[in-house]
Amino acid sequence: MKNIKQELICIGCPMGCPLTVTMDEGQPLSVSGNTCPKGKTYAEKEVTNPTRIVTSTVKVEGGDRTFISVKTQTDIPKQKIFACMEEINRIVAKAPIASGDVLLENVAGTGVAVVATKAAGRM
């Protein structure tokens, strides 16, 4: 099979290096353009198994805030983002809530929890 090149912009650090990944049969052979080791790691993962941390908000019931911010505790497979958001959109958190509280276990079957990133006290 012919080598395929994929162009990316690295998000591993603030430099935003333009990367070129050369692949053969779905596997990365080489990465060029990175100015730090994070670029190579990011590129290899991005072309084989892309993941993202999802951030959003959830409604708060009985709290001093109407909504609080939440995020997935770690990154999840990119293809699970929409399923993750469907589940997050159904959450109604009851006050009080502390930052770091788990509001949803195993979002979209990923094994990853959704946690509060803000606190909400009772009214």
Provide the 3-class DSSP secondary structure of residue 100. coil
pLDDT for 44-62, tens place per residue?
Answer: 999 999 999 999 999 999 9
Count of Cβ atoms closer than 10 Å to residue 53 Cβ: 11
pLDDT at site 88: 98
Paired tokens of 21: 């990944």
Q: Domain boundaries in the chain?
A: 4-48, 55-116
Q: Left (φ > 0), alpha (ψ -120 to 50) or beta: where does 102 sit? A: beta
pLDDT at site 1: 59
For domain 55-116, give the fold: CPE0013-like fold (3.10.530)
60 and 97 Cβ atoms separated by less than 8 Å: yes
Q: Left (φ > 0), alpha (ψ -120 to 50) or beta: where does 40 sit? A: alpha
pLDDT for 14-35, tens place per residue?
Answer: 999 999 999 998 899 999 999 9
Beta strands in the chain (DSSP E): 4-9, 18-24, 27-32, 51-52, 55-61, 67-72, 76-77, 92-94, 102-104, 114-116
Dihedrals phi, psi of 48, to nearest 5 degrees:
-110, -35
12 and 39 Cβ atoms separated by less than 8 Å: yes
| 8 vs 12, higher pLDDT | 8
pLDDT for 64-123, tens place per residue?
Answer: 999 999 999 999 999 999 999 999 999 999 999 999 999 999 999 999 999 999 999 998
